[in-house]
Amino acid sequence: MEKYIELRHKQAEEEMVREKEATKQVDEFSIKKCIDVLSTMNELSPEENARAFSVFKDAQNREIFISANPTARILWLKLQMARLIYMRLGAFVSLILFVS
């Protein structure tokens, strides 16, 4: 019984470490952090700033945005925003064709 209790205690400690690490990663690539970095970028218009928020809804996009160097970051962000517009336009056209 004592070995079982030790095993369960060790499992609980390992789970706490994993949860703490996951929380740390989420904080490192949070939407708030992305918006903070975005606010330092003078290359974007106010409309582009607002459009960028949609890009940050995806966790992988947030990690890429925070990890990229400043030059690549702006180019990558503009590309992602253009893709979102293209995808939404494509969905709209499909809907119109479906209804027609």
**In this predicted model, what pLDDT tens digit does every residue of 49-79 receive, in sequence order?**
999 999 999 999 999 999 999 999 999 999 9
d(CA 53, CA 32): 10
Q: Please state whether the predicted TM-score (pTM) of the whole model is above 0.85.
A: no
Alpha helices, DSSP H only, in the chain? 2-28, 31-38, 46-55, 59-67, 70-99
d(CA 73, CA 78): 9
Residue pLDDT, tens place only, 30-42: 999 999 999 999 9
DSSP letter assigned to residue 45: -
Residue 29: phi and psi, rounded to 5, are -120, 40
